[in-house]
Each structure stands twice: as C-alpha cells, then as structure tokens.
C-alpha cells in the first residue's frame, strides 16, 4: 500500500498522462482529417496547416448564393464570412451625441441581420464633435471600421442668399399650424445637407454605394445577400423600402420649381424616366401635377455617383437658390425622389420589398409567406404600411407596367395637412 500523499500524487500524474494522451489523439485525428481533405481538394502537396489557413481565409470564403427574385434560400441558418467579397460601400448615419442609445439599437439590428457576415464600414456624421461616450459605445458594436466625421459649418447653416427674416416668419407660421418640424431650423439644415452635401463629405465621397441608417430603426428580416452587390450587378442607382405621400403644406412650391428646372434643362430629364411614379394620368412634367409620392429616404441604398452627376448637381443648385428649404420645409425625401424619378432610367430604381424595416411610425413587412415560414422575418405582415391609403406602392408598380393606372389622388387629400403624422 502506498501512503495517502503518494497515492494522491500518482492519481494526479495519471490524470495528466491521460490528458496528454487525449490531446495527442485529437491532434492526430485532426492531422489525419486535414491531410485527407487536402487530398480530396487537390492540395496534396500542402501541409495540414496550409489547408487550415485556406479553410479560414477571408479571400477564399464563398458567400451565400441567393436568388432575390424567388425569395428562396436553403441555408437560412448558415452564416458566412464574406468580408473578402465586399463592394466599395458603407453605412451612413447622421446622428447626435444624445442619440447614442438609439444609434446603438440601429447598429445592432443591421449587424445581426446583415453586416456581421460582411464587415462593411460605418460612417457617423454630426454637426458637433462626437463625445468619447458615443465613440466608445458605437465602435464596440460594428463588425467593420467605424469613422466619425464633423459636417462643415457652411453645409449646416442658412446660405447667404436666404432672407433670414422671411425664413423665421415662415417657421413661426408653420409652427402655429402644428406642422411637424415646422418651427425647426436644424431640421431644415438636415434636409438641405442630405439633399446636396452629404455625398461630398470626405468620408462618404470615396465610396461607390451607401446605405443610410437612422437612429432607432429596426431591420425585421435577415438579409441573406449583399444589396450593394445586387445594386452594382443589376445597374441600380437608387433603392428604397417604403414609399408614401408627402405633406403638401411643406412643399407647396417644390413642384413648380422642378417644372421650371425641366424647362431650362430638358437635357437632364431621362427619356425612360419614372415620371409615372410622381405624376398621375401619364402627363408630362410641365402639364402634370405632383401627386406627393416619394421614397421615404430614412432608408435608402444608392449610388454615390448619381448625386455627384452633373444633372443632379444642376438640379439641386437650382432648387437651393430658390430658398425653399427655409422659406418652406422641403424635405430631402421628395427632393431625392423627384430627382430619381426624372433624372434616372426607371430600370435603375429598385424596391427592396424583401426587407423588413421599421422606423416610427411606419413598418414595411414582406407579405409573401416564404419569408416568414423560413424564419427569415419576424414582423407582422398585417402591419405592412404598403396597404395604407397613403402609401405609394401602386404608383411605383405602375411605372414598370405591373399595375393599371390607379385613380388620381383626390385634390382634397393632397392638400390636407394632417394626412400623415411622422
């Protein structure tokens, strides 16, 4: 019999020997497996380590092949690292320091539903320097790089040609009418910035595509393909999720201004445009009235070079010189939408109907059953804004001949200030 102290040491030694033996066995099995794999993949001359490196190489990873037209994918729960196949694209968020937690929520949704497989960079823009807290809390969530930029002061203030007294009087009048953001000067700065300057910012201008993300938004469906790649391969310039009517009281002179632009710059108007989305009864720009339909631009995936084009630059400059961003409350959504409808080929527009998206108070939820039966989406199709009487889904679908011309929107609806509150 061994003394207890010696017995305990022997037991410990046996445990160590068994552990070493088990590890050796696992390593041997792994080596055998990798050697077999190298032979089966035609890499018989490489070592096991070479094969292991190839298996986890980002540049060699195959991304999920997904057919956007039929909505089917058989590997819905398989995740691929596709960072080696990225487009020249980024996410863009205009956000205040005080919105840090709303920003974090949006980042988490986008990362979980899509970007954790790709690692696209994030660009955060602010008219003031970002706080250390904002940088710390947001950079910890992104799978790619995070960039933080300050907007040039001249792009976030009234230009010199604006009559400030007239602008202030307009804001006070709109505020008395309870028009949303009617009395806000900063909101007007934001609309003008997104209409004519964000794509010129040094952090944004180097990219080919961007995906605009707002604080406090939700992505309600997995995105099992790269929308940036889809845009490039299918020659798309502007993508959206929700379309709806604008408040007439905020843009009363916008359409007449666009009509004047089209008269002075007929060369800018694309012959195969999507005018049918914004003008009813197949009328032309000068004779037709604006039906208020626009793409809700708090979500947009678009080509940066569209905004940089000569046609759009002339369009924005013409609108900007009239002062409508401040004398009224022209939003970047109708400004972008009208431009996309008349300056682009209609085939360059894309509706991301397969995206689930929510930004208060509206939700887009795909209605096709396969999106929900597969587990891809978690939203309620009954809450889909597309079926709302003020949605513009039908106006968009008719552009490509998918629907007959809907009845014109009654003038009373066009001019009612309380149509939609958002």
Token pair 């939609």 is found at: 420
Is the pLDDT at 421 greater than 80? The verdict is no
Residue whose C-alpha is closest to residue 206's, from 332, 103, 305, 93: 305
Q: Report the catalytic residues.
A: 300
Compute the distance between CA of residue 177 and CA of residue 317 in angstroms, rounded to an integer: 29
Angle at 325 between CA 323 and CA 328, to 5 degrees: 90
Q: What is the largest CA-CA distance in the chain?
A: 109
Residue range 328-347, pLDDT digits in tens: 999 999 999 999 999 999 99
CB 191 within 8 A of CB 247: no
Residues 307-329 pLDDT 10s? 999 999 999 999 999 999 999 99
Total domain count, the chain: 1
Backbone region of residue 119 per phi and psi (left: phi > 0; alpha: psi in -120 to 50; beta: other values): left
On the CB side of 368, CA atoms within 13 Å amount to 13
For residue 209, pLDDT over 80 is answered with yes
The span from the CA of 35 to the CA of 253, in Å, is 72
Residue 331: closest CA among 192, 235, 160: 192
Nearest to 120 by CA among 153, 81, 155, 94: 81
pLDDT reported for residue 320: 98
pLDDT at 59: 33
Residue 48 lies in a domain: no
Average pLDDT over residues 143-166: 97
Residue 293 lies in a domain: yes
The helix/strand/coil state of 244 is strand
Q: Is residue 231 part of a domain?
A: yes
Taking alpha carbons only, the member of 343, 261, 340, 328 closest to residue 297 is: 340
Report the distance separating Cα 184 and Cα 169, nearest Å: 12
Query: Could you tell me if residue 119 is inside a domain?
Result: yes
Query: With pLDDT > 70 as the criterion, what percentage of the chain qualifies?
Result: 75
Question: What pLDDT, in 10s, does the model give residues 6-56?
Answer: 334 334 445 544 555 555 555 555 555 444 444 333 333 333 333 222 222
| Residue 257 domain-assigned (yes or no) | yes
* Within a domain: 227: yes
CATH, residue 299? 3.90.550.10
Expressed as residue numbers, the domain containing 272 is: 86-414
Let me know if residue 209 belongs to a domain: yes
404 in a structural domain = yes
Least confident of 4-18, 112-126, 248-262, 277-291: 4-18
């Amino acid at each position: 019999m061994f003394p207890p102290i010696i017995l305990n040491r022997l037991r410990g030694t046996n445990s160590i020997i068994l552990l070493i033996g088990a590890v050796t066995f696992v390593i041997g099995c792994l080596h055998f497996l990798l050697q077999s794999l190298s032979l089966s993949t035609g890499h018989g001359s490489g070592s096991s380590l070479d094969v292991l490196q190839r298996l986890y190489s980002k540049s060699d990873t195959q991304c999920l092949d997904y057919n956007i037209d039929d909505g089917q994918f058989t590997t819905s729960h398989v995740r691929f690292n596709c960072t080696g196949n990225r487009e020249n694209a980024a996410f863009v968020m205009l956000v205040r320091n005080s919105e840090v937690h709303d920003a974090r929520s949006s980042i988490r949704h986008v990362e979980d539903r899509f970007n954790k497989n790709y690692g696209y960079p994030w660009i955060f823009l602010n008219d003031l320097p970002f706080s250390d807290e904002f940088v710390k809390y947001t950079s910890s969530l992104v799978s790619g790089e995070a960039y933080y930029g300050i907007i040039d002061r001249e792009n976030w203030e009234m230009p010199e040609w604006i009559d400030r007294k007239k602008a202030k009087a307009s804001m006070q009048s709109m505020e008395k009418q309870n028009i949303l953001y009617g009395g806000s000067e900063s909101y007007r700065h934001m609309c003008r910035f997104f209409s004519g300057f964000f794509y010129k910012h040094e952090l944004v201008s180097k990219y080919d595509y961007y995906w605009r993300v707002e604080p406090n938004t939700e992505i309600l469906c997995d995105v099992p393909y790269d929308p940036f790649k889809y845009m490039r391969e299918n020659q798309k310039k502007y993508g959206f999720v929700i379309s709806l009517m604008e408040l007439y009281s905020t843009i009363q002179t916008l359409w007449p201004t666009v009509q004047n632009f089209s008269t002075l710059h007929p060369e800018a108007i694309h012959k195969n445009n999507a005018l049918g989305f914004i003008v009813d009864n197949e009328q032309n720009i000068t004779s037709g009235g604006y039906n208020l339909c626009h793409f809700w631009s708090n979500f947009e995936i678009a080509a940066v070079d569209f905004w940089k084009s000569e046609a759009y630059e002339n369009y924005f400059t013409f609108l900007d010189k009239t002062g409508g961003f401040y004398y009224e409350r022209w939003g970047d959504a109708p400004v972008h939408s009208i431009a996309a409808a008349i300056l682009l080929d209609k085939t360059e527009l894309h509706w991301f109907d397969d995206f689930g998206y929510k930004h208060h108070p509206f939700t887009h939820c795909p209605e096709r059953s396969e999106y929900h039966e597969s587990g891809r989406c978690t939203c309620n199709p009954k809450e889909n804004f597309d079926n709302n009487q003020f949605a513009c889904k039908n106006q968009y679908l008719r552009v490509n001949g998918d629907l007959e011309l809907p009845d014109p929107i009654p003038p009373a609806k066009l001019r009612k200030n309380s149509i939609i509150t958002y």
